[in-house]
Amino acid sequence: MLPDGGSYEEIRARFRWHIPARYNIGVDACDKWADGSGRIALIHLRTDGTTERISFDALKSATNRLANALRHHGIARGDRVGVLLPQVPEAAIAHLAIYKLGGIAVPLFQLFGEQALEYRLRDSGAAALVTDATGLAKLTAIRARLPALRLVLSADGAGEGGALDLQAEMARASDGFTPVDTAPDDPALIIYTSGTTGAPKGALHAHRTLLGHLPGVEMAQELFPKPGDLYWTPADWAWIGGLIDVLLPALHHGVPVLAHRMTKFDPEFAFRLMAEHGVRNAFLPPTALKMLRGAVPDQRRFGHALRSIGSGGETLGEELLDWGRAAFGLTINEFYGQTECNMVVSSCAGIGALKPGRMGRAVPGHEVAIVDAAGNVVPPGTLGTIAIRRPDPVMFLGYWNNEAATAAKFAGDWLLTGDQGVQDEAGYFRFVGRDDDVITSAGYRIGPGEVEDCLLRHPAVALAAVVGVPDPLRTERVKAFLVPAAGVTPSESLAAEIQEFVRSRLAAHLYPREVEFVDSLPMTATGKVMRGELRRRGGDGG
């Protein structure tokens, strides 16, 4: 935990890492609190409106049963296990069981289409998958192309392709289990990046990544935890923001997490949910904040118990910060990181670490700087790449089966984020832009490569390029420039067909919301698409 202190400077000076010689996320975030006291771990608001309260004692029993069930079916230490579930208790149980078994969890977004799922399951070599009926429906078409996948457990009961009933398998298993003895550097999970250059890459994280996240979470959530805290986010637990910024840190601290399957973000429902359940801490992506601001004029009518809100993924403007103060009576803290090395910069209004227009300062325990391409730290006020020095407990072990990409991520001991920024004399970081082509839309970081690859699978498309263009709600929206195949006549109906083609195969947040047919794409002499030109063209309205 962050040490006590009245200022950022004092806290940073006193902070020291304490990484034990043996460490397991499942034990830390579950078993240590299962002392028979009935302490609440999860508050599950079901879709029918009823509420289920799950204690750490019950969570330990359930995770032990699932770990035994997985072991019974031959899943062992080091095996990859996919988790394709929404924000429900079974998702938390699956993660904790996998960690206690010594397996490697592979979080998967439930809105992924067949193509996106197949790539991640095949690339990781997943031996098992924990899912539900929605996931099974997508798995059916790709199962034959996943030879490593030998066990599928469904929370909705047995299904096609030999899927077994998750609850029945757990009921048959013992609730006594001795967790595998793991070191902090042993692998625990693979989180796939957005695929900014080519196919998505699997960022392999060690068990220590949870400990590495804690200072950033505590800073962004106003020195979390405090007595009476209750944490919630609308972000799916398949993403690093939902899983390791909310669920696991809260459980580490013994703080209950509110879980609810939200199929679509509903601003009025979100206000009501936070008020009725007494949510004290929230991670709300900037797009969710914008939707809350725009859809509900009088937020005060709901009432709330919030004491902290953290937000990350996009830069917050002064207008949004002012709205947050008016709506909630608190200052929203911005934080920054990426899949490979998360929660390394943050604001914290309570200790004076806040400057409008800035992401914040380096979280205690992390050395963050602006460097040039060779990894040399540049003077304050100089534009360069945001970088984090290794070793660092939150930093990934490397990309799964991709040593070349791992090596390219570093310049000496500096991990290069690929994001451009400036650090001022006081240590505050300002995000300027990206030196790659990642698109930031509704809080998601979207790599054009995966979308373009899907577009090119459509028979009507000869060439495709995807860029982000400004959007008042989403920050950016995905726009596709398409060269039609020979003999194909562009039309609005064809554009709609192609959009649905991508939406169904990848995910709803990945499909191009705007399609423009062109005769050719602007290219460099070496054949690379000039995305900057397309962004300028797209930003001008097509």
Q: Which CATH number does the domain housing residue 505 bear?
A: 3.30.300.30
Q: Is residue 515 part of a domain?
A: yes
Alpha-carbon separation of residue 275 from 271, 278, 329 (angstroms): 6, 5, 14
Task: Tally the domains of the chain.
Answer: 2
Among 207, 233, 266, give the residue marking a domain's end: 207
pLDDT of residue 542: 46
Q: Is residue 400 part of a domain?
A: no
Q: Cis ω on the peptide bond leading into residue 391 (within 30° of 0)?
A: yes
Q: Is residue 356 part of a domain?
A: no
Q: What is the pLDDT along the chain (542 residues), one digit of tens a residue?
A: 899 888 999 999 999 999 999 999 999 999 999 999 999 999 999 999 999 999 999 999 999 999 999 999 999 999 999 999 999 999 999 999 999 999 999 999 998 999 999 999 999 999 999 999 999 999 999 999 999 999 999 999 999 889 999 999 999 999 999 999 999 999 999 999 865 456 789 999 999 999 999 999 999 999 999 999 999 999 999 999 999 999 999 999 999 999 999 888 888 899 999 999 999 999 998 878 888 887 766 666 677 899 999 998 767 777 788 889 988 999 999 999 999 999 999 999 999 999 988 999 999 999 999 999 899 999 999 989 999 999 999 999 999 999 999 999 999 999 999 988 899 999 999 887 666 677 888 878 787 878 887 998 899 998 888 999 999 888 899 999 999 998 999 999 999 999 999 999 998 889 999 999 999 988 754 456 788 889 888 766 54
Euclidean distance between CA atoms 120 and 181, whole angstroms: 27
pLDDT of residue 195: 56
Q: Is residue 282 part of a domain?
A: no
For residue 92, give its domain range: 21-207
Euclidean distance between CA atoms 231 and 216, whole angstroms: 15
DSSP per position, 266-307? -HHHHHHHHHHTT--EEE--HHHHHHHHHH-S-GGGT-----
3-state secondary structure at position 385: strand
Among 143, 176, 207, give the residue marking a domain's end: 207
Among 149, 173, 207, give the residue marking a domain's end: 207
Whole-structure pTM value: 0.86
Q: Is residue 285 part of a domain?
A: no
Q: Is residue 130 part of a domain?
A: yes
Q: Which CATH number does the domain housing residue 122 bear?
A: 3.40.50.12780
Q: Is residue 523 part of a domain?
A: yes
Q: Is residue 267 part of a domain?
A: no
Amino acid at site 311: S
